[in-house]
Amino acid sequence: MFGLLPYIVKSLWRHRTRSLLTISGAGVALLVFCFVGAVQHGLLALTESQEAGSTLIVFQENRFCPQSSKLPEDYSRTIAKLPGVAAVVPIKVFTNNCRASLDSIVFQGVRPEQLKQFRKLTLQSGGWDGFTRQGDGALVGQAVAGRRKLKVGEKFTIGDVSVQVAGVFASSDAAEEALIFTHLDFLQRTRGQNEAGLVTQLEVHLADGANPDTVAQAIDTEFHAGPVATTTRTKGMFQADTLSDLAELIGFIHWLGYACVALVLSLVATTTVMSVQDRIKEHAVLQTLGFRPLRVFRLVVTESTVLSIVGGGLGVAAGLLFVGWSGMSIAAEGVTIAFRPSWSIAVQGLIASLAVGLLAGIVPGWQAAQTQIVSALRHG
């Protein structure tokens, strides 16, 4: 069949406008497929990562937006003494938009030494010393820095928070690259906040072998009768609860991904049917020369597969480049889902293109293989 590849390519090139339109249609559809895949991938990474199960988030009871959760910072000392707790990181969260938004900016105020210890950040520019010394210094995730074109030394203001960029970081956790870290006390005292001694949440790192449910229950029991009751969940559960509305929406849009695949199927199948109908006589000639019906079938299926793979491949490449380059993310109530390219999405996209190409060729391939030679030569 490889020997006939030039014939297949030339046949597709014969109707180049039709072929290129089909390829571009398949490309756009697969681009959307990859984009949807990247969103889902980001959501899964948040809720199913290893850290999501081994770290607890303590939030104020019956509060959902970070602006309304106000826990005493000194709860951290009490929690640190509970069995199974290795460390507690108080975090103040500020976001310019509690609702779901593609351009939410989420600040997290963390003590610099704890930030260095508990976050795997790799500075792309700037330095830790500058951040530590500078009260209003901020370490900006590279996705935000890219989106907002921020550089080290620049000052910027969002809402009531004004900071100076002390560094731009990359992280193994893509969602973190959509965050801005500041000093905890800076965010507590910044204009309009004035919440010294209060934090949004406490991040509890568990000792090896500790049972997350047991520790979470112990924390909530401890503060049940205190001034501010708490709700403690694993980080994964906390993020899933926080993003539940968004997760439903994302769950719905995965059907959009399937719709894109169906669109490619329809597009490629239509083009291939048209191509076969244009060449009824040509397929009869091939059979006269000795091409078996099965070989004619394979020729047609290969044509549809080439269209689908080329279009799909371009769409996958464009989709992943776009997602990677744009650094897009969506945030809701202080939790960020980062859209990230991945090999698994690329492989899924290519497998979908291959499957669609094969499927799209079956009916027209069958038609071509069943050509009645004499009738097609006479009337084709």
Partner 1 sequence: MALVEVIAVSKEYQSGEEIIRPLDGVNLTIGEGEFVSLMGASGSGKSTLLNLVAGIDQVTSGRIEIAGTDITQLSRGKLADWRAAHVGYIFQTHNLIPVLTAYENVELPLMLLPMSAAERRNRVGIALAAVDLTNRADHYPRQMSGGQEQRVGIARAIVANPTIVVADEPTGSLDDNTTEQILTLLQRVNRELGMTLLMVTHDTDAASRATRQLRLERSELYENGTRLAPRALRTA
Residue numbers at the binding site for partner 1 (CB under 8 A): 3-4, 6-7, 10-11, 13-14, 281-282, 285-295, 373-374, 377
Helix 5-14 and helix 293-326, axial crossing angle in degrees, nearest 10: 70
Q: Which is nearer to partner 1, 151 or 292 (CB)?
A: 292
Q: Which is nearer to partner 1, 355 or 373 (CB)?
A: 373
Min dist. Cβ of residue 143 to partner 1 (A): 48
Q: Which residue has the tokens 């938004």?
A: 101
CB of 289 to partner 1, least distance (A): 5
Taking the mean position of all CA atoms in its chain, how far away is CA 307? 27
Nearer to partner 1, 254 or 295 (CB): 295
Query: Least distance from C-beta 277 to partner 1, angstroms?
Result: 16
192: phi > 0 → left, psi -120 to 50 → alpha, else beta; which? left
Q: Which residue number, 217 or 277, has a Cβ lying nearer to partner 1?
A: 277
Burial 331-346 (b: 16+ CB within 10 A, else e): bbbbbbbbbbbbeebb
Nearby residues of 37 by Cβ (< 8 Å), 6 or more positions away: 257, 345, 348, 349
Question: What letter would DSSP give residue 62?
Answer: T
Q: Which of 239, 237, 221 is nearest to 229 (CA)?
A: 221
Rounded least distance, CB 372 to partner 1, Å: 9
* Residue 176 CB-half CA count within 13 A: 16
As measured in angstroms, the least distance from the Cβ of 376 to partner 1 is: 10
* Residue number with CB closer to partner 1 (69 or 287): 287
